[in-house]
Amino acid sequence: MKVLVIGASGTIGSQIVKALAAEHEVIKANHSSGDVQIDISSTASIHSVFESIGKVDAIVCAAGNVAFNAFSELSREEWDLGINSRLMGQVNLTQIGSKYLHDGGNITLTSGIIADYPIAYGSSAAALNGAIEHFAKAVSVELPRNIRINVVSPTVVTESLETYGDYFPGFNSINAEDLAKYYVRSVLGVETGQTFKAFAGN
């Protein structure tokens, strides 16, 4: 398979690449490095990447910015950061990318545990993560040519606890290597319209 992994240099993305690269051709995409550079908040950038790499068998998105702040302090600019990147970035990636998928291809998006379990400063992330999950469920019945779509919803990643651990007091974490298996399940499996909750025990 030919798989485009967006956010390939990140904590999660690098493990997704490692899990798939042994048996598949992986194209690594990041904002400013990798085989190709992409800004998912820009439809022009998304179009440019697919024009350059051609058709693929799977698209994995492990990227998407979101702002954390107290609800009373969240600015419109902070809301727009997440709307344009985490939400519409992945929506646009699905709409544009599906045209470049081979029949029976797969799209895997990323949400997060905050859609199910609130945390302080997480109202924007919760709203956008939940929107992504409902979007994937709804659009799964419209995608043509047996194209599948799923979402992976991770808890806090163990390797990122030093940075984000204070936001998730008492939450069980998951190793990035174990988390990558959920993305592999989406890419190589048969399910569609599903959100894989990668936070057993919370």
Average pLDDT, the chain: 97
Q: Is pLDDT at 202 greater than 80 in this prediction?
A: no
Are the beta carbons of 79 and 125 closer than 8 angstroms?
no
What the block records as the tokens of 108 is 């895997």
pLDDT digits (tens, 9 = 90+) for 4-38: 999 999 999 999 999 999 999 999 999 999 999 99
Rounded Cα distance, 68 and 59, in Å: 27
- Residue 52's pLDDT is 98
In three-state secondary structure terms, 59 is strand
In three-state secondary structure terms, 25 is strand
Rounded Cα distance, 139 and 154, in Å: 21
- Lowest average pLDDT, out of 77-86, 104-113, 193-202, goes to 193-202
Q: 101: exposed, middle or buried (C-beta count within 10 Å: 0-12, 13-18, 19+)?
A: buried
What the block records as the tokens of 111 is 């949400």
pLDDT digits (tens, 9 = 90+) for 71-81: 999 999 999 99
Rounded Cα distance, 78 and 96, in Å: 25
What the block records as the tokens of 141 is 């019945």
Using H for helix, E for strand and C for coil, what is the string for 99-133? HHEEEEEEEEEECCHHHCCCCCCCHHHHHHHHHHH
Are the beta carbons of 86 and 65 closer than 8 angstroms?
yes
β-strands 2-6, 148-154 pairing? unpaired
Sole residue written with tokens 């174990």:
178
pLDDT digits (tens, 9 = 90+) for 149-162: 999 999 999 999 99
Q: Is pLDDT at 175 greater than 90 in this prediction?
A: yes
Torsion angles phi and psi, residue 194, rounded to 5: -100, 155
